[in-house]
Chains A and B, each alone.
Chain A
Amino acid sequence: MDTIINIKNLTKIYRTRKKLPGIGGALKGLFSRQYTETKAVDNISLTVEQGELVGFLGPNGAGKTTTLKMLSGILYPTNGDINVLGFNPTKRPIELRKQFALVMGNKQQLWWDLPARESFILLQALYEVPEEKFNSRLKEMAKLLDVEKLLDKQVRNLSLGERMKLELIAALLHDPKVIFLDEPTLGLDVVAQQKLREFIRHYNQQYKTTILLTSHYMEDIKALCKRVVIIDKGKIVYDGDINKLSSEQSETKTIKATFGQTIKPIALKKYGNIRSLSNQVFEIDIPKSKLQSRLSRLLKDFDVTDLTITETDIADVLRQLFTH
């Protein structure tokens, strides 16, 4: 398989102006300016093979979007090498721009006052998509996303979910080999999220397109990505199988216990983090090192009728990782 993305020791440092408070500060700023440096991306290395669908996770400001922007050539790295499809995105070669797409959930590329079809025709010209291919791709994607009837409606009259689907079509019309999806489901309801997710999965399988996806919705990542890259404060803290994330990174295991009688949550506090599902069923996160001792004590102290031990939920593992 071919390597599509290759990042080596990538670093990005932002230099921003320090603003001093008040009018005095503002006046001072007119004459002498002070700058602060922020390391948004700190020496990361990463390779992605053709056809992979990789989830990019991290809290706000972790460096996900900055990395995607460097991969797209919008931002120049401070240090390190990037290679996408054999090109250096920093030089922004037109050949590369033809072969990838960047979709940002909070930015739109469709013309607000026109039907989406008009924007598609403009994109067709910009990307030189042959008429036949354009028509067949548009038809296929519109059908999959169930938006055939919306193509000729002004974009301003569409709902956010409908618009996002059309944005996705706009980004894919030219048949990109690599797609960067930055929060594509931002602000969508569960049904629209689900639909978009299904489409992304289908598209990735059908066309073997390489996709890098960031999302704050764990459901997106769990449903779509086998591999996740977790980034925090500009550094990669995990890169691997999503199913091994809990077992390798979590400091806790989660037990689900059903009790023979009603239990007050306060009585279970000393065993770990608790979530009550009813007044007889509880989930408890117990540190791995103390699992045995606490479990035997729990069984001794209470009348437990049912007990299962599972990996801690990924969302909780992430919380543990990011709050360190």
Chain B
Amino acid sequence: MIKKYWNIYKVFWRTSLARELEFRANFLAKIGINIIWIGFYVISVAILFNNTASIGTWTKGDVYILAAFFTFVEAIAYTIFVRNTQEIAEMIRNGNFDGILLRPVNTQFLASLRFVSFDELGTLIGSLAMFIYGLSQSHASINFRQILLALAFVGIGLIIFYCFAMTITIMVFWFIKLDNIRVLMTSTLQLVRFPADVLPTVIRRILVVVLPISFISTIPTQALLGRNIEPWAGVGVIISLSLFIGVKLFWDYALKAYSSASS
């Protein structure tokens, strides 16, 4: 079973890459543009820290690591599923979603993972560069356990991102057009650009257990640098995993509604 899906997933990568390479100039331009965006961010952080040595307990190196985490999670999310969730909305609108329903594999797997987007390759390279630079500037001592914990939280962050993107997409089954809500999601996610502990406590807690986007940047950074991790993070992990199951149930429910309503 897992082998079957793994084989299919490898073919998704293969076809997506073949398609990407059809448009070589576009591909290279996108990498360039992403690196420039990261460059802007790096410069603005550098200017900020020219005037002060730290913000709260965060030094310049720490902030670069934080930025590396959220650009990394965002880039991975765009690579593996964000574009698919937008595509699902489009397919529901034009009726091509029927074709997805016919394939003999899990429909959610196929619909949300079938295109791999290489648009964010530049961002990935940029986030890696920021990460290395941030580490070189940071005074924290890092051990293997901290790295593993940070990676586990990045995984949770990705699951949360997936749940958000899918929830909005699933609503399209009923409302057809929801572009504005998608904008709301993108703006909400901007919050992860700041270390959560500079925010008021109430908002901090909300970002761990209600809208658990702290898992996208703050918490992995705290884990990696051996700092105190956001309170309630354990609850947040359980909530995030439940959210994932919730999204699956919501999806199944939406498919039923789609099949009994659409023409």
Contact = CB atoms under 8 A, between A and B. Distances in A.
Genuine A/B complex: yes
Given A74-B259, A126-B8, A111 B15 contact: yes
A114 B104 contact: no
Contact of A111 (B8, B19, B95, B110): B19
Which of A72, A109, A126 is packed against the most chain B CB atoms within 10 Å? A126
B101 interface: yes
B86 to A, nearest CB: 17
Interface size class of A (residues with CB under 8 A): 20 to 34
A75 B104 contact: no
B105 A94 contact: yes
Interface stretch (A20-28, A117-125, A286-294): A117-125
B117 to A, nearest CB: 14
Contacts of B14: 118, 121
Contacts of B22: 113-114, 154
Nearest to B256: A76
Contact of B103 (A40, A97, A114): A97
A197 interface: no
A69 B98 contact: yes
Interface string B82-109: 0000000000000110110111110000
A127 B260 CA distance: 26
Interface string B243-262: 00000000000001001111
Contact of B105 (A15, A118, A126): A126
Given A66-B263, A76-B259, A128-B4, A107 B102 contact: no
A186 to B, nearest CB: 15
B96 A107 contact: yes
A61 to B, nearest CB: 10
A109 B99 contact: yes
B165 to A, nearest CB: 23
B15 A74 contact: no
A14 B263 CA distance: 8
A102 interface: yes
Interface residues of B, number: 28
Contacts of A73: 101-102, 259
A75 B259 contact: yes
B18 interface: yes
A13 B23 CA distance: 46
**Which of B95, B102, B260, B261: most chain A CB closer than 10 A?**
B102
Contact of A121 (B15, B110, B262): B15
B6 to A, nearest CB: 10
Contacts of A33: none
Given A75-B262, A76-B259, A114-B19, A126 B103 contact: yes
27 contacts: A15-B261, A16-B263, A40-B263, A72-B101, A73-B259, A74-B98, A74-B259, A75-B260, A75-B263, A95-B104, A97-B102, A97-B103, A97-B104, A109-B99, A111-B15, A111-B19, A113-B19, A114-B19, A114-B22, A119-B15, A121-B14, A122-B11, A122-B12, A125-B7, A125-B10, A126-B103, A126-B105
User: Which are the 10 A-B pairs with shortest beta-carbon distances?
Assistant: A97-B104, A98-B104, A125-B11, A76-B260, A76-B259, A125-B8, A94-B104, A74-B98, A118-B15, A126-B103
Interface of B: 4, 7-8, 10-12, 14-15, 18-19, 22-23, 95-96, 98-99, 101-105, 110, 256, 259-263
